[in-house]
């Protein structure tokens, strides 16, 4: 098993996922493509689940994974894999944060004007049976911003899906990093074999 190549592969997949997470979070600030005042934007968006959790805290270990297994000596390889494993734990925490905030954002629903000029959470504290997520006719309660319910549902769902994939990949890297730290990388073994033939 080539732990060095596996780490680089996971890192390559995490980069676009992290960027997608950041873009999705930024789009949440502009419901239906409009610009709204701070007090008219759903509170959970200000927790930056995609920018911090699914973005920066995932891109950091992804960048470390590119260097894991690239060094020549056995000691350097083990240290790089150990570092990628530790950074992956940080990334898992970020991905879980993104998932949790996204679930709460989906559960509470968006902040919107129901027609009287006051911005409220019309779907707050609904039971799972009466959730607006399964009753699309309830989405018309929000008059402004237009399509804010769909906007929030789609983007928070993307963040939830991306966070889940990131968490699984990073957990796989924790295991991969542990194996690479204990057993070395195949890159290191191949290098030793080539040196022996020369």
Six-digit token string for 61: 């270990």
Task: Give yes or no for a cis peptide into 145 (omega within 30° of 0).
Answer: yes
Please tell me the least confidently modeled range out of 104-113, 132-141, 173-182.
173-182
User: Domain spans of the chain?
Assistant: 3-197
- Whole-model pTM above 0.95? no
Distance CA 144, CA 51 (A): 25
Going 120 to 122 to 128 to 134, the CA torsion angle's sign is negative
61-107 confidence digits (pLDDT tens): 998 887 765 554 555 567 778 888 899 999 999 999 999 999 999 99
Condensed to tens digits (0 to 9), the pLDDT of residues 152-191 reads 999 999 999 999 999 999 999 999 888 877 776 554 444 4
Model confidence pLDDT, tens digit, residues 39-61: 999 999 999 999 999 999 999 99
- Classify residue 38 by burial, with Cβ atoms within 10 Å: 0-12, 13-18, 19+: exposed
């Amino acid at each position: 098993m080539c732990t060095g190549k596996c780490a680089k592969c996971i890192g390559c997949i995490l980069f676009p996922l992290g960027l997608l997470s950041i873009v999705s979070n930024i789009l949440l600030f502009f419901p239906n493509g409009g610009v709204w005042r701070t007090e008219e934007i759903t509170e959970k968006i200000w927790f930056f689940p995609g920018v911090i959790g699914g973005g920066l805290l995932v891109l950091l270990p992804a960048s470390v994974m590119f260097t894991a297994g690239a060094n020549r000596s056995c000691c350097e390889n083990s240290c790089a894999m150990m570092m990628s494993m530790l950074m992956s734990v940080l990334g898992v925490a970020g991905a879980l944060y993104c998932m949790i905030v996204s679930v709460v954002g989906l559960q509470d629903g968006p902040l919107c004007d129901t027609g009287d000029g006051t911005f409220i959470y019309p779907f707050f504290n609904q039971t799972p049976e009466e959730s607006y997520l399964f009753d699309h006719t309830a989405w018309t309660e929000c008059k402004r911003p237009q399509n804010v319910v769909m906007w929030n549902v789609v983007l928070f769902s993307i963040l939830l899906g991306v966070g889940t994939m990131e968490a699984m990949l990073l957990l796989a890297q924790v295991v991969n990093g542990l194996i690479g730290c204990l057993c070395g990388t195949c890159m290191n073994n191949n290098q030793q074999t080539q040196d022996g033939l020369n």
